[in-house]
Structures are given as C-alpha cells and as structure tokens.
Amino acid sequence: MTASARSAHARAATRFPVVTHLADRMVSVNIFDSATRLAAQSFLTAVPLLFVVGAYAPPPVRHQLITSVRTVFGVTGAADAQLVQALSPTTGSLRQATGVVGGLMVLLSATAVSRALQRLCKRAWEIPRAGTRIAPWRWLAWLVLWLAALLVQGPMRDGFGVGAWLGIPITLVGLTGLWWWTQHLLLGGLVGWKPLLPGAVITAVAVTALSVTARLYLPRALNQALSEYGSLGPVFILLSWLIVVCVAVAISISAGAVVAQEPAPARRLGSPPPVRGRAAHR
C-alpha cells in the first residue's frame, strides 16, 4: 500500500505539479492547526485590546474604530449597542480597572498574534527555525500597523464617501500592500519582495471576499446568538468566523509561496528554491 501510494503521488506530481506541490505544502504547514492557533490568539488579543482602546483612546479614535468595525462586519441592532457600550465607557472606572501597567501588558501579550503569523509564514516558505532569529520589534510594529489599518477600514470600504463600487477595489489594493508588507516584515527580509507578491494578492482577494460575505451573515447571526445565549453567544460566532478567515489566510500564503517557487515564476521573481529543489542540488 505504501509503494502504491508513493507511485500514485509520483504520477500526480508529473501530471499536476502545482496541485501536488500545494498539497504537500499544506501538509507541511499543518493548515488547520496553524489557522486554529492563529484564530485563537487573534480572539484572545482582540477582546483585551477593545477594553484598552475604550479606556485610553481619545473619543475621535474610539468613534472611528466603532465606525470601521460596524462597516466591516455590518453590525446592527443589539450587537451594535454592545460594541458601542464596550468602546464608549461613561466613567473613568474602566481606565482605573485597566491601569497603565495592565494596558502595557495587553499590548505586549498581543504580539502572540504576530508570532503565530510569523510561524505560519516561515512554514509556508519552508524556512527552518534554527539560525533564523528575527528581531522582536517586528512583532510590535506589525500590531501597530494593523491597528492603524483597522481604523481606516470604514472610510476605505465606503470608497471615502463615493460608494462600495470604489471601496472594494481600494480595499483590495490596500490589503494586497498590507499582506505584502506583513510577510516581508515577519520573515525579516529572508525572502525578497517580489516572491512575496503572489501570496499577498491571493490573500487579499480571499480576505476581501470573506469580508463581503461577512456583512451578509454576521449581523443576523450575532444578534440571534446575543438574544438566545446572552453576551457569551457572539463569542462562538466570532471565533468560528475567525477560524474560517485564518484558514483562508494560511491556504493563501502557502499557495502564494508554491506559485512563486514554480520554475517559470521563480525565474522572474527570483524566488528561493523549495526544499525539494535544495535537496536535489546537494
């Protein structure tokens, strides 16, 4: 059975090389495990950060964040009221409860998302752990830029007042640049800019498509879960949606690496050879 499986794999690699290489990369990346870890870290980071922003951010920033979250997820009704309440405390009690030290600890622990995404990118590009230390400041820089990107999502999705017909292309271009920079930053420049472009484009298309569908599903699901199960109901909905998004991100980054390392694109992009190519040259 093992010999038969190897023979079938060899035939598939000859007939459908890209598909076979992508399947092999998915296995090596451990897509669902990596995506689940990334989703869990994102959720555990997002909730404390909401409280920190609500406690310390000036009112214009809080208002812009509410507008962006409302625009991205299409939040309405009871879920929207909960969002406004979380980010608009009426007294200083939230700031006192959070504290400066607590806020700094939340920001530092939030870099766990950066580290999880960094591991995903390194696995997708088959970069070994040994001898590839990357400066920790990159984790914090990634977090700060993504928080800034979240603040401008509302105006971008609305096309800066023109409409969704312009907002969606602008969002697609913006997310392409963001994921392009994300890979380069978290990989510490171990892979050049050009090879990272296919993964950035694929990821941006996948995330943009999911964000459009989220506006059709999430508002009703969040309000229904809130009415039936209370404040804990939306937790399951948001975590499930995050897992779907992170699976799409993991697949897209891995697919981009595979495409960039195929012979024809690799010659144009200057991509590093895959592990199987490195082994063949030894």
pLDDT of residue 94: 56
How many angstroms separate the Cα of 197 from the Cα of each of 17, 76, 142, 192? 21, 36, 18, 9
* Percentage of residues of the chain with pLDDT beyond 90: 20
Q: What is residue 91's three-state secondary structure?
A: coil
Greatest mean pLDDT among 81-85, 157-161, 180-184: 180-184
Q: What is the mean pLDDT of the chain?
A: 80
pLDDT of residue 42: 86
Nearest to 51 by CA among 94, 12, 99, 108: 94
Domain ranges of the chain: 21-273
In this structure, of 43-47, 153-157, 221-225, 277-281, the range with the lowest mean pLDDT score is 277-281
In this structure, of 51-55, 91-95, 185-189, 251-255, the range with the lowest mean pLDDT score is 91-95
Average pLDDT value for residue range 228-249: 87
Number of H helices, E strands in the chain: 15, 0
Give the DSSP letter of residue 232. Answer: G
In this structure, of 42-56, 78-92, 191-205, the range with the lowest mean pLDDT score is 78-92
Read off the amino acid at residue 146.
Answer: W
How many angstroms separate the CA atoms of 13 and 281, rounded? 19
- Tens of pLDDT along 166-176? 888 898 999 99
Read off the amino acid at residue 211.
Answer: S
In this structure, of 100-104, 187-191, 264-268, the range with the lowest mean pLDDT score is 100-104
pLDDT of residue 277: 47
pLDDT of residue 105: 67
Look up the pTM and report it: 0.84
Tokens of residue 176, six digits:
């392409």
pLDDT of residue 78: 81
* pLDDT tier for residue 280 given thresholds of 50, 70 and 90: very low
In this structure, of 153-157, 174-178, 259-263, the range with the lowest mean pLDDT score is 153-157
Q: What is the DSSP string of 22-74?
A: HHHHHHHHTHHHHHHHHHHHHHHHHHHHHHHHHHHS-HHHHHHHHHHHHHHH-
pLDDT of residue 281: 35
- Tens of pLDDT along 19-68? 777 777 888 888 888 888 899 888 888 777 777 776 777 888 888 888 88
